[in-house]
Amino acid sequence: MDQKQVINCRQFAWLSAAILTGGGLTSVEQVLVRLGKMDAWGSYALASGYAVLLAYVFYQLARRFPGKHLFEITKLLFGKFIGTAVNLLLMFHLWTILIRDLRSLSKFVAVSLLPNTPDEIIVMLLMLVVMYYGKTSVEVVARVTDFFFPFFTFVIVILPLLLSNEIDKTLLQPVLSGQIQSLFFGNMISTGWFGDLFVMGAFLHTLQATRQLRSALRHGALLAALLIGIFLVLELLVLGPTIPGNLVFGNYSVVQQIHITDFLDRVDLLILSIWFPVSTCEMIAVYLALLTGIASLVKQRDYSTINSPMGLLVLMTSLLAFKSATEIFSFGNYGYPFFVIAYQPLLFLVIWLFSLRHPVRDRREQKQGQSSSASSQAEANETAQDDPSGASSEGGPSARTSRRPTAATNRTHANRGKRNPAPGFLQKLSYKAWGRSSNVLVVLNIACLALGLWFSRHYAIAGVICGVSYCVCSVLAVLTSYMELFHAKQQAQ
Amino acid sequence: MNNIFLLVFFFIVVITLVSDMKKMQSQHKSLKTLYVVLYTLTSAMFICMLLGIKFLPTYLFVNNLSTWVHQFLQV
């Protein structure tokens, strides 16, 4: 296996989004609808904020430890013994994600496509696919996601159009009239699910430009929140606030409601053929992260050797972990989010605080430190060769002065020659301005929900206005985070 | 547990062990140790499955934590 793995920021963003949407498609929405009722569409506001904070922590870690992944960083921060204990906790979390998704996806396949096939066989076939990709690196799964994710996004975006004849807007009304407490609990559950974003920490070393890393994580998380949000709104608009709370696969039930003509009566099968690869990519990414973590226990990066025993162990434990479908979804919807909320924010806060003791470093500086005898010409060549994304890490003031891009980085840069997609009057906005806009929009999302829930008791129109503002802010947050990513790519030149 | 699955799983374990033998000779010692540990765990799980023994921590999650969260949320 190639020790050096490099993916670009678009692949990083889409892989992040696939990790968050892949698992969420087959579960979680049931409990969100039960809690939030007709206001369940606002369940991803806090989760988006949490993802933005997590992206900031990873950005700071990548600045201070360039070329290292999360498991290596925790060992450097906490030392051998505590670092290994923290890594074991993170690996346990990865294992729980894997068994949860493996079993829920197998149940989904059993219910929707193969009702007579034993569950064990479906899980085994899924795991063999995952093990096949386990021989490769994250680059491969990033490319597969790169291929399928645009189709996946397109399908979800056109779903409102396909379901337009089934939609009843009165099912969402009165808007934001529920209890604040219920919606808050729904937001906490979804925040637990968005904790899955930490999987990308295992691939921190694959994207050297730290600004791109932060922007990619933010864009991926906000895009995922929007896509799952669209699904939630459609579930409510088509099925109402009661039925989805009793459906295990509410998303699939919504898609089954597409009745355009007799010819297009089974569009759900077409859509499933796009969903399935994205969900599989999510599991593969989690599995690769788990392999990376286990290999890091013995200070190795090549995990291809342990792929087969680990894959078989995951297969066996996933089958032993749950006795029935009820247990799988009880774990995924209640126990798992609580477990994540209970430990992850605190752990990453501690990791961030410990990382502040270390100076901001640049990948190039690190290389200079390692090979002080090398000539400046050789260093320039080395940097150009080692940085195929054309991006150098950003750093402190000293790093900034030494980050003049070489001709090679300009030549290889993916964004070269691309026109700024922002409308005329917004083209002057800088990277920081777009970043701040995304942050403001995420905060506005939360504020819209709070204000709507507060004022709609007295004025029903206030709930509608806040609801519409929430939708507009969600879409704008995705667009601004995309522009942030665009400028991050340009600044790396 | 499905008998076809148990048989297929056993054959997969044997085939992967045989196919990894050659590669293992050139591997780092620590990786070899990890490989043996993981296969031992897998075999132990397989035997547990055959004997019907279940002891994974997910039961703690499902039976205690999930139930408590469910009651707390009053869903």
Specify whether the CB–CB gap between A185 and B73 falls below 8 A.
yes
Is any Cβ of chain A less than 8 angstroms from the Cβ of B43? no
Q: What is the pLDDT of residue B75?
A: 67
- Domain containing residue A194: CATH number: 1.20.1740.10
Closest CA in chain B for residue A294: B34
Is A400 within the bounds of a domain?
no
Residue A335 DSSP label: I
What are A436's two structure tokens? 């701040």
Q: Which residues of B10-35 are buried (b: 16+ CB within 10 A; e: fewer)?
A: eebbeebbeebeeeeeebeeebeebb
Q: What is the pLDDT of residue A210?
A: 87
Q: What is the pLDDT of residue A375?
A: 41
Taking the C-alpha atoms of residue A301 and residue A481, their distance in angstroms, rounded to an integer, is 32
Specify whether the CB–CB gap between A206 and A15 falls below 8 A.
no
Taking the C-alpha atoms of residue A191 and residue A185, their distance in angstroms, rounded to an integer, is 10
Is A451 within the bounds of a domain?
no
Q: Do B20 and A308 touch (CB under 8 A)?
A: yes
Specify whether the CB–CB gap between A24 and A227 falls below 8 A.
no
Q: What is the pLDDT of residue A154?
A: 94
Taking the C-alpha atoms of residue A467 and residue A178, their distance in angstroms, rounded to an integer, is 13
Q: What is the pLDDT of residue A199?
A: 95
pLDDT string in tens for chain B (75-residue length): 678 999 999 999 999 999 988 888 888 888 899 999 999 999 998 998 888 887 777 888 888 899 999 989 876
Taking the C-alpha atoms of residue B27 and residue A302, their distance in angstroms, rounded to an integer, is 10
Which among A315, A319, A327 is the nearest to B62, CB-wise?
A327
Instruction: With CA atoms as reference, report the closest residue to A99 among A190, A16, A23, A32.
Output: A23
Specify whether the CB–CB gap between A411 and A400 falls below 8 A.
no
Q: Do A331 and B62 touch (CB under 8 A)?
A: yes
Positions of chain A with pLDDT under 70: 1-3, 24-26, 263, 362-417, 492-493
State the number of CA atoms in the 13 A half-sphere of B59 facing the CB. Answer: 8
Mapping DSSP onto H, E and C, the string for A250-272 reads HHHHHHHCCCCCCCCCCHHHHHH
Q: Is A3 exposed, middle or buried (0-12, 13-18, 19+ CB in 10 A)?
A: exposed
Specify whether the CB–CB gap between A384 and A364 falls below 8 A.
no
- Helix-, strand-, coil-residue percentages of chain A, each rounded to 5: 75, 0, 25
Residue A391 DSSP label: -
Closest CA in chain B for residue A307: B35
DSSP string covering A233-251: HHHHHHHTTTGGGG-SSHH
Taking the C-alpha atoms of residue A296 and residue A312, their distance in angstroms, rounded to an integer, is 19
B28 neighbourhood in chain A, CB within 8 Å: 298, 300
> To the nearest whole angstrom, how far is the Cα of B14 from the nearest Cα of chain A?
11
DSSP string covering B30-48: HHHHHHHHHHHHHHHHHHH
In 3-state terms, what secondary structure has residue A375? coil
Q: Where are the domains of chain B?
A: 3-73
Q: Which of A306, A328, A343 to mutate to test the interface with B (most CBs of B within 10 A)?
A: A306
Q: Do A313 and B41 touch (CB under 8 A)?
A: yes
Is A115 within the bounds of a domain?
yes
Instruction: With CA atoms as reference, report the closest residue to A488 among A362, A391, A361, A384.
Output: A391
C-alpha distances in angstroms, A245 versus A38, A54, B60, B65, B67? 11, 30, 25, 21, 18
Specify whether the CB–CB gap between A189 and A35 falls below 8 A.
yes
Q: What is the pLDDT of residue A421?
A: 79
DSSP string covering A394-460: --SHHHHHT-PPPHHHHHH-TTTTPPP-S-GGGTT--HHHHHHHHHHHHHHHHHHHHHHHHHTTT-H
Rounded to a whole number of angstroms, the distance between the first and last alpha carbons of chain B is 33
DSSP string covering A117-132: S-HHHHHHHHHHHHHH
Closest CA in chain A for residue B48: A320
Which among A300, A312, A322 is the nearest to B31, CB-wise?
A300
Instruction: With CA atoms as reference, report the closest residue to A63 among A454, A418, A400.
Output: A400
Q: Pseudo-torsion of CA A449, A453, A455, A456, nearest 10°?
A: 110
Q: What is the pLDDT of residue A416?
A: 55
Taking the C-alpha atoms of residue A268 and residue A274, their distance in angstroms, rounded to an integer, is 10
In 3-state terms, what secondary structure has residue A68? coil
Which among B35, B54, B58 is the nearest to A306, CB-wise?
B35
What are A234's two structure tokens? 């459609």
Which among A31, A300, A317 is the nearest to B30, CB-wise?
A300
Is A446 within the bounds of a domain?
no
Is any Cβ of chain A less than 8 angstroms from the Cβ of B47? no
Q: Is the pTM of this model over 0.90?
A: no
**Residue appearing with tokens 């799983």:** B9
Mapping DSSP onto H, E and C, the string for A303-321 reads CCCCHHHHHHHHHHHHHHH
Size of interface A-B (CB pairs under 8 A): 116
Give the total number of structural domains in chain A.
1
In 3-state terms, what secondary structure has residue B53? coil
Tally the residues of chain B.
75
Is A219 within the bounds of a domain?
yes
Domain that residue A76 falls in: 9-359
Which secondary-structure segment (H or E) carries A137? none
What are B37's two structure tokens? 């540990």
Q: Is A145 exposed, middle or buried (0-12, 13-18, 19+ CB in 10 A)?
A: buried
